[in-house]
Amino acid sequence: MTQQTLTATVLTAASNYILSFILGALVYVEPLTALSGIGMTLILAGLWFLCEPTTSATTTVEQITPDKKKI
């Protein structure tokens, strides 16, 4: 599984939880509790960290294998 597939899967699952929370509050008039607000915040924070582009995650082969010419 590639990194893009994992990101798409997690993004879809998290957006499903958020959409269910919003529709439950609007359609079924479910009460908005502090615990549900904390859960929504944690899901959004996780998505933010997941979808944030990082340069440290990409490494090249030269960074992984030592240079044999120096020996």
- Domain spans of the chain, in order of start: 3-70
pLDDT tens digits along 26-50: 999 999 899 999 999 999 998 888 7
* Predicted pLDDT at 3: 63
DSSP code for 52: S
C-alpha closest to that of 30 among 39, 40, 20, 38: 20
Evaluate whether 17 touches 42 at the Cβ level (below 8 Å): no
Evaluate if residue 62 carries a pLDDT over 70. Answer: no
Evaluate if residue 65 carries a pLDDT over 70. Answer: no
pTM score, two decimals? 0.61
